[in-house]
Amino acid sequence: MKKNTYKWPAIGLVFSSLFVISACGSNDSNSATAQDSTWLEQADLEANETPEELYEAAKEEGKVVVYSQSSRIKDVKASFEKEYPGIQVEAFDLGTIEIVEKVTREQEAGLNTADVVFVKDGGGIVSGELLSEGMLHKYAPDDLVASLDEPFLDEPGLPFYFSTRTIFVNTEAYDESPINNWWDLTDDQWQSKIVMDDPLLSSDTLDLLTTIVQNTDEMEAAYKDKFGTDIELDGTDNAGYEFIKQLLANDPVFLSSGDDVVEAVGTPGQENPPVGITTSSKSRHIEEQGYHAEFLYDVNPKMSVAGTSYLYMANNAEHTAAAKLLIRWMAGEADGQGEGFRPYNVPGSWSTRTDVSVEGQRSSDELDLWPYDGEYLYDHTNEVRNFILENQ
């Protein structure tokens, strides 16, 4: 896999400083390698300790530090500390880009702050860089792996749930969905009436658009299904890029929060509401907020691409027993029913296990999704990002 020199807006700005940190913080690469080897041996990530055994060891450590992509980590902190008194959870709620930056800076500087990292792949950069450079490690005890669905058995970290970036519509204004094809979003009807997470700030949205580019043949077929003619490319050589170009020409409104997208789509009393593109997991707020909105399952050519969330052990983590215990807790323990998984077992999310589901939504094997291709995303995300900048 080739290594990119520039991935995300924020990361690109700090690459030079990361180089300096790396140069200053690594005086002896051989001793660093030996240190990592010793830590891996002591951490024994292949072991299958019981929660009781881990708790006894974790009490000696006293705390665990987690970098989390989700604000729901505060609920995990509360339930974990109640279940395991004597162990403090230091939780940092960060975006995917921030997590990659923070882990990279600290690891290059020899700082072992994080114990657990909870993050998506984010354009393939986590698997392409953090994992390949040995900054993160997989901890997946046998009793957690035993119930994983087959597509998730060979993953770089411990996958415990996924959501997807997809289309939301207002159910009060429309008895039937006005959208059944991604190309519908290019119609004049939706001029300035599309709200979505800013793809230059949201790695998940950029993953979706890059995956659309990857699947150009399917986008060509979907175009013909809608318009009845073959697509004519206007300055592009790919139907996915053509879709992005026409979508941007329809003047979508970029928002910084998926909550704002769902609110804009689902606020009651609208005669001509917008449609939205955001994470399906935001549907968990719809009922409590009184919104009239739902995400779409049936969109030609695919609903979307899965965005799987992973749990990792950070390299040279200082609180390994507590980290193992927290990973087990967040994954729902052996039966999947543990309190730590409850904040993530919500509408619009799907467990990676075969024995856990959310009532009232389609099962994961009923979803028509593109596969997540981290290697393709790692190699092509920057190209798609530049295309968006050029066509805004």
Instruction: Answer yes or no: do 176 and 65 share one domain.
Output: no
Which amino acid, 320?
Answer: T
The three-state secondary structure class of 208 is: helix
Which tokens belong to 362?
């389609």
Instruction: Answer yes or no: do 94 and 152 share one domain.
Output: yes
Q: Is residue 262 part of a domain?
A: yes
Instruction: Answer yes or no: do 118 and 189 share one domain.
Output: no
> For residues 208 and 220, what is the distance between their CA atoms, to the nearest angstrom?
17
Q: Is residue 252 part of a domain?
A: yes
Instruction: Answer yes or no: do 65 and 154 share one domain.
Output: yes
Instruction: Answer yes or no: do 219 and 172 share one domain.
Output: yes
CA atoms within 13 A on the CB side of 153: 7
Q: Identify the CA nearest to 122 among candidates 279, 364, 309.
A: 309
Name the strand (E) or helix (H) holding 158: strand 158-170
Which tokens belong to 15?
């690459």
Find all residues with CB under 8 Å of 326, minimum gap 6, and list them.
64, 66, 76, 80, 89, 115, 116, 340
Q: Is residue 340 part of a domain?
A: yes
Please give the DSSP secondary-structure letter assigned to residue 252. Answer: P
Which amino acid, 273?
Answer: P
Instruction: Answer yes or no: do 289 and 343 share one domain.
Output: no
The three-state secondary structure class of 3 is: coil
Q: Identify the CA nearest to 349 among candidates 283, 259, 260.
A: 283
> For residues 308 and 322, what is the distance between their CA atoms, to the nearest angstrom?
24
From the number of C-beta atoms within 10 Å of its C-beta (0-12, 13-18, 19+), residue 331 rates as buried
Which tokens belong to 303?
């609903």
Name the strand (E) or helix (H) holding 93: strand 88-93
Q: Is residue 49 part of a domain?
A: yes
Instruction: Answer yes or no: do 112 and 198 share one domain.
Output: no
Enclosing domain of residue 173 = 167-305+385-391
> For residues 111 and 129, what is the distance between their CA atoms, to the nearest angstrom?
18
Q: Is residue 146 part of a domain?
A: yes
Domain count, the chain: 2
pLDDT in tens, the chain (392 residues): 434 433 444 333 333 333 333 333 344 444 445 557 899 999 999 999 999 999 999 999 999 999 999 999 999 999 999 999 999 999 999 988 899 999 999 999 999 999 999 999 999 999 999 999 999 999 999 999 999 999 899 998 999 999 999 999 999 999 999 999 999 999 999 999 999 999 999 999 999 999 999 999 999 999 999 999 999 999 999 999 999 999 999 999 999 899 999 999 999 999 999 999 999 999 998 988 999 999 999 999 999 999 999 999 999 999 999 999 999 999 999 999 999 999 999 999 999 999 999 999 999 999 999 999 999 999 999 999 999 999 98
Instruction: Answer yes or no: do 298 and 310 share one domain.
Output: no
Which tokens belong to 241?
């890029």
CA atoms within 13 A on the CB side of 68: 20
Instruction: Answer yes or no: do 254 and 343 share one domain.
Output: no
Q: Is residue 353 part of a domain?
A: yes
> For residues 371 and 362, what is the distance between their CA atoms, to the nearest angstrom?
18
DSSP 362-387: --GGG--EEPP-HHHHHHHHHHHHHH
Instruction: Answer yes or no: do 80 and 181 share one domain.
Output: no
Q: Is residue 57 part of a domain?
A: yes
Q: Identify the CA nearest to 326 among candidates 84, 145, 47.
A: 84
Q: Is residue 364 part of a domain?
A: yes
**Other beta carbons within 10 Å of 312:** 27
Instruction: Answer yes or no: do 195 and 313 share one domain.
Output: no
At 325, which CATH number? 3.40.190.10
Instruction: Answer yes or no: do 316 and 285 share one domain.
Output: no
Q: Identify the CA nearest to 325 among candidates 59, 73, 136.
A: 59
> For residues 247 and 241, what is the distance between their CA atoms, to the nearest angstrom?
10
